[in-house]
Amino acid sequence: MELEQIVPTKQKLTLADLDSAPLFRECNLPPYCDTVVDFLNNISKQIFSSSVHSQDPELSALAFWLRRGNIIPLIRTRISHNEAGNVIKRSRGVVFLTPPTNVGSLFCYQLALALLTGNKTIIRLSPNAPEISYLLCDLIKNLLNDQINKKISENLRIFSYDHQREITEYFSRECDLRVIWGGDQTIRQIRQVPLAPKAMDISFADRFSWSLINAKYFLGTTKDQQKKIAQQLYNDITLFDQKACTSPKILCWIGDDNHLVPAKKKLHVLLDTVNQNHHYSQEIGNSVEKQDSLYSLMALLDKSSLHYGSSNISILDMVTFNKENLQSIHEHHHGNGLLVETSLSKISDIQPLLTAKEQTLAYFGYSEADIITLINNSTELFFDNITPIGQSHAFSHIWDGYDLFDIYQRDIRLNKL
Amino acid sequence: MNLDRILNHTAPALPQEEKDQLLFDGLKQLTEYHKSKCPGYRNILHAIKYAPEKCRSLEDIPFIPVNLFKRLELHSIQESGNIVNILASSSTTGQKPSQIFLDKETSKRQSLGLTRSLKFVIGDKRLPMLIIDAPSSIRTKPLTARGAGILGLMRFGHSHCFALDNDLNLDQEQLTRFLSEHSGQPFLIFGFTFMVWMYFLQKCPPEINLENGILIHSGGWKKMQEQAVSPSAFKKAFLNNTKLSKCFNFYGLVEQIGSIYLEGLDGFLYPPAFSDVIIRDPFTLEPLPYGQEGLVQLLSLLPLSYPGHSILTSDMGILHQGTHNKNTHGLEITRRAPKAEVRGCSDTHASKVG
């Protein structure tokens, strides 16, 4: 039973090695301490200072989020809240994070939140994790060599190992909070491994996302704005090979035929241009899987028709948007650059279709007030994340219905005299 | 019908041009047939805007990806009582297996096709048959592709003998008995390439004589690559160790049983008269010329009970112009298309995204 530690130092370990010493020393990281804020800011700086990394949309988004300028406002309210009343926030203790393999930078956001809240942090990376994960680990490891970061280095351990039950069992026994961020299959597997009685589990399951455009508004807006939306939609789709939970797989237009027909046509032309100007590199396997999804959906969705922009993004026009068809798309769509395009006459027609799987709604052509009305009229089956098109993948500490700062902390009740 | 005309001719007797025309017309008819019988297939043709009048060559015949049979129940049998068998592909990767629905007519066509393809290897007579597999292989329910393959071939033999026991150990007693009775005259040997190599040739007693044997083997080339055994090393080992010289590899899918691609003397796989191959670019899906690697599309006149007459496989291959007959072409299977990456490779495109 072997595993590799990759942060703070690189070394091969066995389960017996792990067992022979405590996972962490008794060295606590106070919540929201400057050391952590500086450390995260330094990760950000390192990414921005590299000409290669700063060009990568995934890494630059991470670097942007880790900046001091982003973190300080996030934690400021938390700190004052702690001092305000009879609730004092403290870390949970040891958190065990299992990030997903489809989004290679995600573990860094989790790491940031776990350390900011003062937790001792264990992260399991898959040996199949994307290159970007290992690149980030190297960067973190180098920063941790600095004496200034000694406390962080004593509170953070990143391991790489296959799904080996014994190792997961070990970490599950040692942790106070286990965060399973992965496919439904992984969640089921890991959930079978017991936690310590007082510990808790939070899981982030497979989800499904849409984009939404107001056809009339789209037609009425400027050419430049239309172009921009096509480009942003393209980016939202192609990043992560459309395999992230947040990747839009359905484009739902709202409007009547007068607007829908010309609006769709216009967007198709624009998307074709974006398609031609960008080389979206795919692996053969992704292309094969895309054909599998596409043909399954063509077979299942009555009267659908294929608009083939190019080999990059294919658009499948779905005539009837109902629960059954949505279910088919949930089941058969595996990303790889396929957009199922459909329409409804009013924005309120969305609600009856929704299931617990719907996660992100990326919109264009609606005001904040429109969106708030939509949310106010919603039931418990509603998206967890609503964002403008182009921002589908932007990370937030509010995720899948949770405030992650709250999850990573416990509340101490102070009953005043 | 076109299939009968092709089946009733021997390949050299039918001029290539006429064969091509028969094949094209037949596939076009099958496309219409399945369109009328299989709602899922009809939806696909509608979605890709298939128009028969615009279908002018083999390349225009629409295809469906082979994995569709794993994801959906696609068939053209309207009365469920007419289903005589459901074949399941062996699923080694934990995937769902393919489900191929067969009726009487399609089973018959598969047998006819197989007979037609194997005729020039085996001849007209049934031969004593040694099967390099376990007796249990043909008894699983549902029948696996392996079992279906064995059962299909068993019709070309008599006095069947399974050379392995149910634990896949060589059954010396059975083998000795079979050879003492039949090895004086031509006899048939059939098995899957990897099993023939691993469980038979490697375990055979040194004095074994298979001089009169005709070995037909199929599949398992990926495992053979892992063992670094080339097709020529495979043949050589058989010749040196057992004196067997008649060794024929074939390629075929459970989704197109009966359409088998026999290995020619040049080592390439040749389609039977009622089948053909097209190689397509894995990304644009455009047809590729000879010599270029791409996804293998298989065409066959046999499938009537399910829309499998034109299948885009997950195998990668190269098409070569025939060495002896320039009108034919031979297929080289190069590899299995890799599984989808969880995430595409490094984001080289990203720098251009504004």
For the cut 90, the answer to whether the pLDDT of residue A318 exceeds it is yes
Same domain for A376 and A227:
yes
Residue type, A395: F
The verdict on B65 and B181 lying in the same domain is: no
Q: Are residues B316 and B326 located together in one domain of the fold?
A: yes
Query: Average pLDDT of each block of 10 consecutive residues along chain B (354 residues)?
Result: 66 70 94 97 97 95 96 92 81 70 92 85 89 90 78 89 92 93 93 91 88 88 76 88 91 88 86 93 94 97 96 95 81 85 32 25
Per the structure, the complete domain to which residue A83 belongs is given by 2-205+400-413
What confidence tens digit (pLDDT) does each residue in A140-163 have? 999 999 999 999 999 999 999 988
Rounded to 5 degrees, φ, ψ at B34 are -65, -30
Nearest to B344 among A128, A241, A300 (CB): A241
Q: Are residues A55 and A191 located together in one domain of the fold?
A: yes
Query: Is there a contact between A279 and B41 if contact means CB atoms under 8 Å apart?
Result: no
Task: Output A54-59 pairs: Cβ under 8 A, ≥24 positions apart.
Answer: A55/B350, A55/B351, A56/A132, A56/B347, A56/B350, A56/B351, A57/A235, A57/A239, A57/B347, A57/B350, A57/B353, A58/A103, A58/A104, A58/A105, A58/A132, A58/A239, A58/A240, A58/A393, A58/B347, A58/B350, A59/A105, A59/A132
Percent over 90 (pLDDT), chain A: 79
Chain-wide mean pLDDT for chain A? 92
User: What's the length of chain A?
Assistant: 417
B339 contacts on A by Cβ (under 8 Å): 285
The rounded distance, in Å, linking the Cα atoms of A114 and A177 is 10
pLDDT of B341 reads 60
Find the closest chain B residue to A104 by CA distance.
Answer: B343
Q: Are residues B115 and B247 in the same domain?
A: yes
Q: Looking at residue B18, what is its pLDDT?
A: 82
Same domain assignment for residues B146 and B212: yes
Q: Which residues make beta-bridge pairs with B188?
A: B129, B214
* Same-domain pairing of B158 and B81: no
| Chain-centroid distance, C-alpha A157 | 22
Same domain, B243 and B139: yes
In percent, how much of chain A has pLDDT > 70? 98
CA–CA separation, A282 and A287 (whole Å):
7
Dihedral sign for Cα atoms in the order B178, B183, B187, B192: positive
Taking the Cβ of residue A273 and every Cβ of chain B, the question of whether any pair is shorter than 8 Å is answered with no
List the single residue in B with minimal CA-CA distance to A390.
B354
Question: Closest by alpha carbon to A239, among A8, A59, A377?
Answer: A59
Interface test with A, best of B293, B296, B343 (most A CBs within 10 A): B343
Structural domain total, chain A = 2
Query: How do residues B318-353 score in pLDDT, each as one tens digit?
Result: 999 887 777 788 999 988 888 776 532 222 222 222
Residue type, B323: T
Residues in Cβ contact with B95 at an 8 Å cutoff, skipping those fewer than 6 apart:
B70
pLDDT at position A80: 57
Helical segments of chain B, H only: 2-8, 16-37, 39-47, 68-71, 104-122, 145-154, 172-182, 193-195, 221-226, 231-242
Q: What is the pLDDT of residue B342?
A: 52
Alpha carbon of residue B339 to chain centroid = 21
**Hey, is A210 helix, strand or coil?**
strand
Same domain? B230 vs B279:
no
More confident residue, B226 or A297: A297
pLDDT value at residue B254: 84
Q: Does A56 touch chain B (CB under 8 A)?
A: yes
Residue-level pLDDT at B343: 39
Angstrom distance (rounded) from CA B354 to CA B346:
17
B148 touches chain A (CB under 8 A): no
The secondary structure element, H or E, covering residue A165 is helix A165-174
Which chain A residues have a beta carbon less than 8 Å from that of B48? 298, 306
B-interface mutation test, from A62, A296, A334, most B Cβ less than 10 A away: A296
Q: What is the mean pLDDT of residues A53-82?
A: 87
Nearest to B346 among A131, A231, A287 (CB): A131
Say yes or no: A196 and A259 in one domain: no
Q: A343 and chain B: CB distance < 8 Å anywhere?
A: no
pLDDT digit string, tens, across residues B155-210: 889 999 999 999 999 999 999 999 999 999 999 999 999 899 999 998 988 888 99
Q: Give the one of B40, B46, B351 whose C-beta lies nearest to A55's C-beta.
A: B351
Residues A34 and A182 in one domain: yes
Judge if ipTM > 0.85: yes
pLDDT at B349: 25
DSSP three-state, residue B190 = strand
Domain count, chain B: 2
Chain-centroid distance of CA B294 in Å reads 18
Q: Could you tell me if B30 and B126 lie in one domain?
A: no
The CATH number of whichever domain residue A120 belongs to comes to: 3.40.605.10
Q: How far is A348 from chain B (nearest CA, A)?
A: 28
Last residue of a domain, one of B202, B230, B251: B251
Q: Domain range holding B27?
A: 2-102+252-336
A20 phi and psi angles, rounded to 5 deg: -80, -15
Q: Looking at CA atoms only, how far is residue A243 from chain B in angstroms?
A: 7
The 10s digit of each residue's pLDDT in A261-282 is: 999 999 999 998 898 888 777 8
CATH number at residue B197: 3.40.50
Which pLDDT value is given to residue A293? Answer: 96
Q: Which residues pair with A91 in a beta bridge?
A: A409
Residue A172: predicted pLDDT: 96
Rounded Cα distance between B106 and B333, Å, is 27
The residue out of B222, B251, B280 marking a domain boundary is: B251
